[in-house]
Amino acid sequence: MRCAGCERSGALICQDCLAALTLIDPRHSCTRCGAPFGDLLCTECSVEGASSAMAEALDRCLACAAYTHPLPRIIKAYKDAGERRLAPYLAELLYDTALHAQVVAPDRYGGVLSGADAVVFVPATAAAFRRRGFDHMEAIARPFCELSGVPLLDALVKYGHGDQRELGREERRERARGMYETVEDVRGRRLLLIDDVITTGATMAAASAELKRAGAAAVDGLAIARVW
């Protein structure tokens, strides 16, 4: 067994790589997009204002760590190299982050986990599912729900576009519009929406907007990594 972050033998994620994660302090992160800097809002969200896609769709947003070494290699090993054994590790990282946030920053993230009626994951497209052989966020959501005790709701279907990692901000936003459909009853529910990486926030915003359109009372976002 080799570490997904540094390829050192002995563990899927070694202690050195765990220690190297740039964890985001929920007391000083942007509550709108999960960015690591923003005692209230980060600079980008402050400039965009209340009419931004993230502001209109998400009630709050939280990310575990910045998308810096070793996290990109770990996520790539999981998503693209088929190292499915990483799913429970990433689920635990999400769980620890949400639990920590509502304890140390109750004025900002109070009830983000304990107040959720259900967990919804951002689904893969059919093409991505065929390519990988599994839905990478569903595989994380299941152990996350076991840890948290919050029920899992497989509420979204994703259509259309594939890999967006090489796209710019506006291209991501344009592609994300109309990408999701709600296939479960979410009316009146407070939902915790989980995904792997927030880059521009377009995917998270589009998925949340669709859940709100279908009647969700509130949607908080939780991601493994935030590009910043």
Q: Is the pLDDT reported for residue 179 higher than 80?
A: yes
Burial class (CB in 10 A: 0-12, 13-18, 19+), 23: middle
> Which pLDDT does position 228 carry in this prediction?
87
DSSP letters for 92-103: HHHHHHHHHHHH
pLDDT tier, 170 (very low <50, low <70, confident <90, very high otherwise): low
> Which pLDDT does position 164 carry in this prediction?
52
Q: The pTM is what?
A: 0.91
CA 198 – CA 83 distance, rounded (Å): 21
Taken in order 206, 211, 214, 215, the sign of the CA dihedral is: negative
Backbone φ and ψ of 59, nearest 5°: -80, -45
Over residues 118-131, mean pLDDT:
95
Q: Is the pLDDT reported for residue 133 higher than 70?
A: yes
Over residues 80-95, mean pLDDT:
97
- What residue has token string 């589009």? 206
Q: Does domain 15-226 have CATH number 1.20.1250?
A: no
CA 3 – CA 14 distance, rounded (Å): 6
Domain spans in the chain, listed from the N-terminal domain onward: 15-226
Over residues 190-208, mean pLDDT:
96
Over residues 185-198, mean pLDDT:
98
Where do the H-state alpha helices sit in 36-168? 43-48, 53-57, 71-79, 87-104, 106-109, 126-132, 136-148
Per cent of the chain over pLDDT 70 is 89
Lowest-confidence range among 1-15, 108-122, 149-163, 182-196?
149-163
pLDDT tier, 12 (very low <50, low <70, confident <90, very high otherwise): very high
Q: CA end-to-end span of the chain, whole Å?
A: 31
Higher-confidence residue of 74 and 162: namely: 74
- Mean of per-residue pLDDT scores for the chain: 91
